[in-house]
Amino acid sequence: MSNVAEKISGGCLCGEVRFKVPVSPTIQTLCFCSDCQKISGSSSYCAYLIPLDQLVLIKGLPLSFTVKSDAGRNNCRKFCGNCGSRLWAELEFGLASVNGMAFDEKRFFNPTHNHRLENAPDWCRVDKELETLS
Ligand SMILES: [Zn+2]
Ligand SMILES: [Zn+2]
């Protein structure tokens, strides 16, 4: 039985879209893929991965844009239509890659892996202690 109090709450900048996710993610990565860079405007995206069916939409309805990743998989990227904040991406295999920086309490995001590290810009100081996912 899942208790709402045990979930992490988050949302977009304007507050139109709100969600909750479980406190035990499948994996937490910094994703340096070019799609994540383009959309986030940063060197990496804080990807908090959970099973998609554990993501609870509390308020609002995000817009989405589906793009094929470098690996050839469909990523349906969700964002607020009002303020443009990135919220999560729905990946194949039933996973959601939630934006850890959209959490109300950012301490819940603690990356354990780097993903697509070879794509990090030269100026970026990466944490080499994290495990690398290719
Ligand atoms: Zn918004
Ligand atoms: Zn990515």
Quote the CA–CA distance of 48 and 29 in Å, as a whole number.
7
Q: Are 85 and 77 in contact (CB under 8 A)?
A: no
What is the per-residue pLDDT for 125? 93
What is the per-residue pLDDT for 12? 98
Distance 115 CA to ligand 2 centre (A): 7
Average pLDDT over residues 28-49: 95
Distance 88 CA to ligand 1 centre (A): 13
Going from the N-terminus, what domains does the chain have, and what CATH number goes with each? 4-133 (3.90.1590.10)
Using 50, 70 and 90 to split pLDDT, how confident is the model at 133?
confident
Distance 1 CA to ligand 2 centre (A): 32
- Structure-block tokens of residue 128: 């080499």
Distance 56 CA to ligand 1 centre (A): 17
In Å, what is the CA distance from 85 to each residue of 65, 98, 113, 117, 118? 13, 12, 23, 24, 26
Distance 49 CA to ligand 2 centre (A): 12
Task: State the ligand closest to the CA atom of 63.
Answer: 1
pLDDT tens, 4-34? 457 999 999 999 999 999 999 999 999 999 9
Quote the CA–CA distance of 71 and 45 in Å, as a whole number.
17
Distance 123 CA to ligand 1 centre (A): 31
Type of residue numbered 52: L
Distance 87 CA to ligand 1 centre (A): 9
What is the per-residue pLDDT for 5? 55
What is the per-residue pLDDT for 41? 92
Would the pTM count as exceeding 0.85? yes
Average pLDDT over residues 36-42: 93
Average pLDDT over residues 49-67: 97
Distance 78 CA to ligand 2 centre (A): 13
Look up tokens 């993903």; give the residue.
Answer: 115
What is the per-residue pLDDT for 111? 97
Average pLDDT over residues 95-106: 97
Distance 16 CA to ligand 1 centre (A): 5
